[in-house]
Amino acid sequence: METGLYVHVPFCIKKCNYCDFISYPYHEVDVKAYLVGLEQEMKLYSQSPVFQSREISTVYIGGGTPTCLSAFNLGKIINDVFKYFHVYTGAEVTMEANPGTVNPHLLASVQAAGVNRLSLGVQSCRDDELRLLGRIHSFRQAKETFLMAREAGLHNIGVDLISGLPGQSALEWMETLKNIIALEPDHVSAYGLQLEAGTPLYEDVQSGSLAPCSEEEELEMFLQTGDFLGEYGFDHYEISNFATPGRQCRHNLIYWHNQEYLGIGPAAHSFINGYRYANEQQILAYKNVLDAECLPVANKEKIDTVTEMAETVFLGLRLLKGLSLDCFKKRFGCAIDEVYPVPLQKLTDMGLVEIAGGYLRLTRRGLPVANRVFIEFLP
Ligand code: SF4
Protein backbone atom coordinates (compact mmCIF):
# COMPACT_ATOMS: atom_id res chain seq x y z
CA MET A 1 0.00 0.00 0.00
CA GLU A 2 1.26 3.48 -0.85
CA THR A 3 1.90 5.91 1.99
CA GLY A 4 1.79 9.67 1.53
CA LEU A 5 3.55 12.19 3.73
CA TYR A 6 1.91 15.56 4.35
CA VAL A 7 3.91 18.38 5.95
CA HIS A 8 1.77 21.20 7.32
CA VAL A 9 3.28 24.68 7.33
CA PRO A 10 0.80 26.69 9.41
CA PHE A 11 1.78 30.26 8.57
CA CYS A 12 0.29 32.87 6.24
CA ILE A 13 1.14 36.49 5.54
CA LYS A 14 -2.53 37.42 5.91
CA LYS A 15 -5.74 35.47 6.45
CA CYS A 16 -7.90 35.27 3.31
CA ASN A 17 -11.56 36.26 3.65
CA TYR A 18 -12.90 32.74 2.97
CA CYS A 19 -10.35 30.66 4.85
CA ASP A 20 -10.99 28.55 7.93
CA PHE A 21 -7.84 26.41 7.67
CA ILE A 22 -5.46 26.33 10.61
CA SER A 23 -2.87 29.01 9.91
CA TYR A 24 -1.17 31.65 12.02
CA PRO A 25 0.47 35.00 11.31
CA TYR A 26 4.15 34.77 10.47
CA HIS A 27 6.14 35.56 13.65
CA GLU A 28 9.83 34.65 13.78
CA VAL A 29 9.58 33.20 17.28
CA ASP A 30 6.72 30.85 16.29
CA VAL A 31 8.43 29.86 13.03
CA LYS A 32 11.58 28.97 14.95
CA ALA A 33 9.64 26.82 17.46
CA TYR A 34 7.75 25.17 14.59
CA LEU A 35 10.92 24.31 12.66
CA VAL A 36 12.61 22.77 15.71
CA GLY A 37 9.41 20.85 16.54
CA LEU A 38 9.00 19.60 12.98
CA GLU A 39 12.46 18.07 12.94
CA GLN A 40 11.83 16.50 16.37
CA GLU A 41 8.59 14.99 15.03
CA MET A 42 10.30 13.58 11.93
CA LYS A 43 13.05 12.11 14.10
CA LEU A 44 10.54 10.41 16.42
CA TYR A 45 8.70 8.86 13.47
CA SER A 46 11.97 7.69 11.93
CA GLN A 47 12.65 5.76 15.16
CA SER A 48 9.18 4.20 15.24
CA PRO A 49 8.97 0.59 13.95
CA VAL A 50 5.90 1.56 11.88
CA PHE A 51 7.98 3.91 9.75
CA GLN A 52 11.34 2.19 9.71
CA SER A 53 10.10 -0.24 7.08
CA ARG A 54 7.55 1.99 5.35
CA GLU A 55 8.23 3.66 2.00
CA ILE A 56 6.84 7.09 1.21
CA SER A 57 5.54 7.42 -2.34
CA THR A 58 4.42 11.05 -2.25
CA VAL A 59 5.32 14.11 -0.23
CA TYR A 60 3.06 17.15 -0.03
CA ILE A 61 4.21 20.34 1.68
CA GLY A 62 1.04 22.35 2.21
CA GLY A 63 -0.44 24.96 4.43
CA GLY A 64 -0.95 27.68 5.25
CA THR A 65 1.60 29.15 2.92
CA PRO A 66 4.80 27.09 2.81
CA THR A 67 6.43 29.76 0.64
CA CYS A 68 6.26 32.35 3.40
CA LEU A 69 9.22 30.44 4.90
CA SER A 70 12.70 31.31 3.64
CA ALA A 71 14.44 29.31 0.90
CA PHE A 72 16.87 28.09 3.56
CA ASN A 73 14.15 26.84 5.93
CA LEU A 74 12.16 25.17 3.14
CA GLY A 75 15.34 23.49 1.90
CA LYS A 76 15.99 22.23 5.43
CA ILE A 77 12.46 20.78 5.73
CA ILE A 78 12.80 18.98 2.38
CA ASN A 79 16.27 17.65 3.25
CA ASP A 80 14.97 16.42 6.61
CA VAL A 81 12.09 14.61 4.90
CA PHE A 82 14.61 12.69 2.76
CA LYS A 83 16.88 12.15 5.77
CA TYR A 84 14.26 10.77 8.18
CA PHE A 85 11.91 8.86 5.84
CA HIS A 86 12.38 6.26 3.12
CA VAL A 87 11.15 8.27 0.16
CA TYR A 88 10.85 6.31 -3.11
CA THR A 89 13.13 7.32 -5.94
CA GLY A 90 10.77 9.08 -8.33
CA ALA A 91 8.33 10.08 -5.58
CA GLU A 92 6.06 13.00 -6.33
CA VAL A 93 7.12 15.91 -4.12
CA THR A 94 4.62 18.78 -4.19
CA MET A 95 4.88 22.17 -2.58
CA GLU A 96 2.07 24.69 -2.32
CA ALA A 97 3.03 28.23 -3.23
CA ASN A 98 1.21 31.52 -3.16
CA PRO A 99 1.93 34.38 -5.55
CA GLY A 100 3.41 37.32 -3.71
CA THR A 101 5.56 35.09 -1.51
CA VAL A 102 8.09 33.60 -3.93
CA ASN A 103 11.19 34.68 -5.83
CA PRO A 104 13.43 32.90 -8.36
CA HIS A 105 15.99 31.96 -5.70
CA LEU A 106 13.38 30.27 -3.48
CA LEU A 107 11.91 28.32 -6.41
CA ALA A 108 15.33 27.21 -7.68
CA SER A 109 16.31 26.15 -4.13
CA VAL A 110 13.25 24.01 -3.50
CA GLN A 111 13.53 22.48 -6.96
CA ALA A 112 17.17 21.59 -6.29
CA ALA A 113 16.18 20.12 -2.91
CA GLY A 114 13.71 17.73 -4.55
CA VAL A 115 10.37 19.48 -5.15
CA ASN A 116 9.10 18.32 -8.56
CA ARG A 117 5.53 19.62 -8.48
CA LEU A 118 4.16 23.05 -7.58
CA SER A 119 0.59 23.79 -6.58
CA LEU A 120 0.01 27.48 -7.11
CA GLY A 121 -2.88 29.32 -5.43
CA VAL A 122 -4.05 31.63 -8.22
CA GLN A 123 -7.81 31.50 -7.45
CA SER A 124 -8.94 34.06 -10.07
CA CYS A 125 -7.62 36.11 -12.97
CA ARG A 126 -9.71 39.13 -11.93
CA ASP A 127 -8.20 41.52 -9.43
CA ASP A 128 -11.64 42.58 -8.13
CA GLU A 129 -12.32 38.93 -7.25
CA LEU A 130 -8.88 38.51 -5.68
CA ARG A 131 -9.61 41.55 -3.48
CA LEU A 132 -12.99 40.12 -2.51
CA LEU A 133 -11.26 36.88 -1.51
CA GLY A 134 -8.69 38.86 0.50
CA ARG A 135 -5.74 37.47 -1.46
CA ILE A 136 -2.44 39.35 -1.11
CA HIS A 137 -1.60 39.22 -4.84
CA SER A 138 -2.82 40.42 -8.22
CA PHE A 139 -3.28 38.22 -11.27
CA ARG A 140 -0.19 39.82 -12.82
CA GLN A 141 1.85 38.58 -9.85
CA ALA A 142 0.28 35.12 -10.20
CA LYS A 143 1.32 34.97 -13.87
CA GLU A 144 4.84 36.13 -13.03
CA THR A 145 5.09 33.46 -10.33
CA PHE A 146 3.92 30.77 -12.73
CA LEU A 147 6.51 31.75 -15.35
CA MET A 148 9.21 32.06 -12.67
CA ALA A 149 8.45 28.48 -11.58
CA ARG A 150 8.79 27.19 -15.14
CA GLU A 151 12.12 29.07 -15.42
CA ALA A 152 13.24 27.41 -12.18
CA GLY A 153 12.75 24.01 -13.82
CA LEU A 154 9.40 23.04 -12.30
CA HIS A 155 7.80 21.08 -15.13
CA ASN A 156 4.69 19.99 -13.25
CA ILE A 157 2.60 22.95 -12.11
CA GLY A 158 -0.99 22.87 -10.92
CA VAL A 159 -3.11 25.94 -10.32
CA ASP A 160 -5.91 26.27 -7.78
CA LEU A 161 -9.00 28.27 -8.68
CA ILE A 162 -12.23 29.15 -6.88
CA SER A 163 -15.60 29.54 -8.60
CA GLY A 164 -19.02 30.57 -7.33
CA LEU A 165 -17.95 33.84 -5.69
CA PRO A 166 -20.62 36.29 -4.55
CA GLY A 167 -21.60 38.38 -7.57
CA GLN A 168 -19.54 36.30 -10.04
CA SER A 169 -21.15 35.55 -13.40
CA ALA A 170 -20.50 32.47 -15.54
CA LEU A 171 -18.90 34.82 -18.09
CA GLU A 172 -16.44 36.13 -15.50
CA TRP A 173 -15.57 32.59 -14.43
CA MET A 174 -14.93 31.73 -18.08
CA GLU A 175 -12.54 34.70 -18.26
CA THR A 176 -10.49 33.10 -15.46
CA LEU A 177 -10.46 29.71 -17.17
CA LYS A 178 -9.30 31.26 -20.48
CA ASN A 179 -6.48 33.19 -18.81
CA ILE A 180 -5.36 30.11 -16.93
CA ILE A 181 -5.31 27.95 -20.04
CA ALA A 182 -3.08 30.54 -21.70
CA LEU A 183 -0.44 29.76 -19.04
CA GLU A 184 -0.48 26.06 -20.02
CA PRO A 185 -0.63 24.50 -16.54
CA ASP A 186 -0.34 20.74 -16.10
CA HIS A 187 -3.18 20.49 -13.61
CA VAL A 188 -6.16 22.59 -12.56
CA SER A 189 -8.09 22.33 -9.29
CA ALA A 190 -11.35 24.26 -9.54
CA TYR A 191 -13.21 24.34 -6.25
CA GLY A 192 -16.59 25.90 -5.61
CA LEU A 193 -16.41 28.52 -2.85
CA GLN A 194 -17.48 27.13 0.53
CA LEU A 195 -18.82 29.82 2.84
CA GLU A 196 -17.39 28.76 6.18
CA ALA A 197 -18.98 30.13 9.37
CA GLY A 198 -16.86 32.76 11.08
CA THR A 199 -15.06 33.94 7.95
CA PRO A 200 -15.51 37.55 6.72
CA LEU A 201 -17.11 36.38 3.46
CA TYR A 202 -19.62 34.26 5.35
CA GLU A 203 -20.48 37.21 7.61
CA ASP A 204 -20.94 39.52 4.59
CA VAL A 205 -23.31 37.05 2.96
CA GLN A 206 -25.19 36.49 6.24
CA SER A 207 -25.62 40.23 6.76
CA GLY A 208 -26.89 40.68 3.21
CA SER A 209 -24.07 42.98 2.09
CA LEU A 210 -23.02 40.34 -0.47
CA ALA A 211 -25.36 38.13 -2.49
CA PRO A 212 -24.24 34.48 -2.66
CA CYS A 213 -23.91 32.72 -5.98
CA SER A 214 -27.12 30.82 -6.74
CA GLU A 215 -27.19 27.02 -7.07
CA GLU A 216 -28.08 27.38 -10.76
CA GLU A 217 -25.05 29.62 -11.42
CA GLU A 218 -22.79 27.26 -9.49
CA LEU A 219 -24.04 24.35 -11.58
CA GLU A 220 -23.50 26.30 -14.81
CA MET A 221 -19.91 27.12 -13.81
CA PHE A 222 -19.25 23.52 -12.81
CA LEU A 223 -20.44 22.15 -16.16
CA GLN A 224 -18.66 24.94 -18.05
CA THR A 225 -15.37 24.05 -16.33
CA GLY A 226 -15.46 20.38 -17.36
CA ASP A 227 -16.48 21.15 -20.94
CA PHE A 228 -13.94 23.94 -21.42
CA LEU A 229 -10.94 22.19 -19.86
CA GLY A 230 -11.89 19.00 -21.72
CA GLU A 231 -11.53 20.88 -25.02
CA TYR A 232 -7.94 21.68 -24.03
CA GLY A 233 -7.00 18.08 -23.33
CA PHE A 234 -7.54 18.04 -19.57
CA ASP A 235 -8.85 14.82 -18.12
CA HIS A 236 -11.59 15.49 -15.57
CA TYR A 237 -10.44 12.82 -13.11
CA GLU A 238 -11.91 14.01 -9.82
CA ILE A 239 -14.96 16.17 -9.07
CA SER A 240 -12.87 19.35 -8.82
CA ASN A 241 -9.62 18.26 -10.50
CA PHE A 242 -8.37 18.19 -14.07
CA ALA A 243 -5.03 16.96 -15.39
CA THR A 244 -3.09 16.81 -18.62
CA PRO A 245 -1.92 13.25 -19.47
CA GLY A 246 0.16 11.71 -16.67
CA ARG A 247 -0.23 14.73 -14.39
CA GLN A 248 -2.88 13.59 -11.93
CA CYS A 249 -1.91 14.51 -8.37
CA ARG A 250 -0.58 11.22 -6.98
CA HIS A 251 -0.65 12.48 -3.40
CA ASN A 252 -4.34 13.37 -3.52
CA LEU A 253 -5.09 10.03 -5.22
CA ILE A 254 -3.89 8.42 -1.97
CA TYR A 255 -6.66 10.28 -0.10
CA TRP A 256 -9.30 9.43 -2.70
CA HIS A 257 -8.28 5.75 -2.61
CA ASN A 258 -8.57 5.95 1.20
CA GLN A 259 -4.99 4.77 1.57
CA GLU A 260 -2.60 5.59 4.36
CA TYR A 261 -0.90 8.90 4.97
CA LEU A 262 1.12 10.50 7.71
CA GLY A 263 0.62 14.18 8.48
CA ILE A 264 3.28 16.09 10.40
CA GLY A 265 3.26 19.63 11.74
CA PRO A 266 0.67 21.41 13.90
CA ALA A 267 -2.95 20.42 13.10
CA ALA A 268 -1.89 17.76 10.58
CA HIS A 269 -4.02 14.60 10.27
CA SER A 270 -2.90 11.01 9.64
CA PHE A 271 -4.53 7.70 8.72
CA ILE A 272 -2.24 4.83 9.68
CA ASN A 273 -2.96 1.18 10.56
CA GLY A 274 -6.71 1.77 10.88
CA TYR A 275 -6.38 4.83 13.17
CA ARG A 276 -7.00 8.47 12.41
CA TYR A 277 -4.77 10.92 14.27
CA ALA A 278 -4.93 14.69 14.66
CA ASN A 279 -1.92 16.67 15.85
CA GLU A 280 -1.94 19.46 18.40
CA GLN A 281 -3.09 22.65 16.68
CA GLN A 282 -1.31 25.34 18.66
CA ILE A 283 2.40 25.75 17.98
CA LEU A 284 3.32 26.04 21.65
CA ALA A 285 1.37 22.90 22.62
CA TYR A 286 2.85 21.06 19.60
CA LYS A 287 6.38 22.06 20.57
CA ASN A 288 5.93 21.31 24.30
CA VAL A 289 4.81 17.73 23.63
CA LEU A 290 7.76 17.19 21.29
CA ASP A 291 10.16 18.63 23.86
CA ALA A 292 8.99 15.82 26.15
CA GLU A 293 9.98 13.42 23.33
CA CYS A 294 6.38 12.36 22.65
CA LEU A 295 4.47 12.49 19.38
CA PRO A 296 2.23 15.60 19.27
CA VAL A 297 -1.00 13.65 18.77
CA ALA A 298 -4.04 15.35 20.31
CA ASN A 299 -6.70 12.88 19.11
CA LYS A 300 -6.58 9.27 18.06
CA GLU A 301 -9.62 7.42 16.76
CA LYS A 302 -9.99 3.80 15.68
CA ILE A 303 -11.80 3.68 12.35
CA ASP A 304 -14.17 0.71 12.47
CA THR A 305 -14.83 -1.36 9.37
CA VAL A 306 -18.30 0.12 8.75
CA THR A 307 -16.86 3.65 8.75
CA GLU A 308 -13.86 2.62 6.63
CA MET A 309 -16.19 1.05 4.05
CA ALA A 310 -18.34 4.19 3.84
CA GLU A 311 -15.28 6.44 3.53
CA THR A 312 -13.81 4.19 0.85
CA VAL A 313 -17.05 4.46 -1.14
CA PHE A 314 -17.57 8.18 -1.01
CA LEU A 315 -13.90 9.04 -1.48
CA GLY A 316 -13.72 6.62 -4.42
CA LEU A 317 -16.86 8.13 -5.92
CA ARG A 318 -15.08 11.49 -6.07
CA LEU A 319 -13.01 9.99 -8.89
CA LEU A 320 -14.66 10.09 -12.31
CA LYS A 321 -13.36 6.60 -12.94
CA GLY A 322 -15.12 5.55 -9.75
CA LEU A 323 -14.47 2.90 -7.16
CA SER A 324 -13.05 -0.45 -8.25
CA LEU A 325 -15.46 -3.22 -7.24
CA ASP A 326 -12.56 -5.68 -7.11
CA CYS A 327 -10.48 -3.46 -4.83
CA PHE A 328 -13.44 -3.03 -2.49
CA LYS A 329 -13.96 -6.80 -2.31
CA LYS A 330 -10.25 -7.48 -1.74
CA ARG A 331 -10.06 -4.86 0.99
CA PHE A 332 -13.21 -5.83 2.93
CA GLY A 333 -13.88 -9.44 1.91
CA CYS A 334 -17.40 -8.71 0.63
CA ALA A 335 -19.00 -7.20 -2.47
CA ILE A 336 -20.21 -3.62 -2.42
CA ASP A 337 -23.76 -4.59 -3.43
CA GLU A 338 -23.95 -6.94 -0.42
CA VAL A 339 -23.05 -4.07 1.90
CA TYR A 340 -25.15 -1.29 0.33
CA PRO A 341 -28.06 -2.95 -1.56
CA VAL A 342 -30.62 -0.25 -0.67
CA PRO A 343 -28.57 2.93 -1.39
CA LEU A 344 -27.20 1.42 -4.60
CA GLN A 345 -30.67 0.55 -5.90
CA LYS A 346 -32.06 3.96 -4.93
CA LEU A 347 -29.19 5.96 -6.46
CA THR A 348 -29.17 3.83 -9.62
CA ASP A 349 -32.92 4.33 -10.06
CA MET A 350 -32.40 8.09 -9.65
CA GLY A 351 -29.71 7.99 -12.36
CA LEU A 352 -27.02 9.34 -10.00
CA VAL A 353 -24.64 6.34 -9.96
CA GLU A 354 -23.88 3.48 -12.32
CA ILE A 355 -21.76 0.35 -12.46
CA ALA A 356 -19.66 0.03 -15.60
CA GLY A 357 -16.44 -1.83 -16.44
CA GLY A 358 -15.99 -3.08 -12.87
CA TYR A 359 -16.33 0.38 -11.29
CA LEU A 360 -19.07 2.12 -9.33
CA ARG A 361 -19.16 5.75 -10.40
CA LEU A 362 -21.20 8.92 -10.41
CA THR A 363 -23.15 9.62 -13.59
CA ARG A 364 -22.95 13.04 -15.27
CA ARG A 365 -26.19 13.83 -13.46
CA GLY A 366 -24.77 12.64 -10.13
CA LEU A 367 -21.51 14.63 -10.36
CA PRO A 368 -22.84 18.07 -9.45
CA VAL A 369 -24.87 16.64 -6.55
CA ALA A 370 -22.13 14.34 -5.27
CA ASN A 371 -22.56 15.40 -1.64
CA ARG A 372 -26.17 14.24 -1.69
CA VAL A 373 -25.03 10.89 -3.07
CA PHE A 374 -22.32 10.46 -0.40
CA ILE A 375 -24.83 10.93 2.42
CA GLU A 376 -26.60 7.73 1.34
CA PHE A 377 -23.52 5.68 2.31
CA LEU A 378 -22.99 7.18 5.76
CA PRO A 379 -23.27 4.64 8.59
S1 SF4 B 1 -3.20 31.60 1.82
FE2 SF4 B 1 -4.43 29.71 1.93
S3 SF4 B 1 -4.18 28.95 4.04
FE4 SF4 B 1 -3.47 31.08 4.00
S5 SF4 B 1 -5.23 32.27 4.64
FE6 SF4 B 1 -5.25 32.22 2.39
S7 SF4 B 1 -6.53 30.44 1.87
FE8 SF4 B 1 -5.97 30.26 4.05
Do 345 and 214 share a structural domain?
Answer: no
Do 352 and 223 share a structural domain?
Answer: no
Do 236 and 366 share a structural domain?
Answer: no
Give the separation between CA 116 and CA 93, rounded to whole angstroms.
Answer: 5
What is the extent of the structural domain holding 246? 3-255
Please give the chain's pLDDT, 379 residues, in tens: 679 999 999 999 999 999 999 899 999 999 999 999 999 999 999 999 888 889 999 999 999 999 999 999 999 999 999 999 999 999 999 999 999 999 999 999 999 999 999 999 999 999 999 999 999 999 999 999 999 999 999 999 999 999 999 999 999 999 999 999 999 999 999 999 999 999 999 999 999 999 999 999 999 999 999 999 999 999 999 999 999 999 999 999 999 999 999 999 999 999 999 999 999 999 999 999 999 999 999 999 999 999 999 999 999 999 999 999 999 999 999 999 999 999 999 999 999 999 999 999 999 999 999 999 999 998 8
HSE (CB half, 13 Å, CA atoms) of 366? 26
Domain end among 255, 270, 302: 255
Do 249 and 349 share a structural domain?
Answer: no
CA of 373 to the centre of ligand 1 (A): 29
Per-residue H/E/C for 117-182: EEEEEEECCCHHHHHHHCCCCCHHHHHHHHHHHHHCCCCCEEEEEEECCCCCCHHHHHHHHHHHHH
Residue 264 placed within a domain: no
Do 217 and 116 share a structural domain?
Answer: yes
Domain end among 255, 288, 304: 255
Ligand 1 contact via 65 beta carbon (within 6 Å): yes
Do 167 and 77 share a structural domain?
Answer: yes
Domain end among 234, 255, 276: 255
CA of 15 to the centre of ligand 1 (A): 6
Q: Whose CA is nearest to atom 5 of ligand 1?
A: 15
CA of 13 to the centre of ligand 1 (A): 9
Residue 71 placed within a domain: yes
> Domain of 368: which CATH number?
1.10.10
Q: How many domains does the chain have?
A: 2
> Domain of 120: which CATH number?
3.20.20.70
Residue 55 placed within a domain: yes
Do 76 and 159 share a structural domain?
Answer: yes
Residue 270 placed within a domain: no
Give the separation between CA 190 and CA 177, rounded to whole angstroms.
Answer: 9
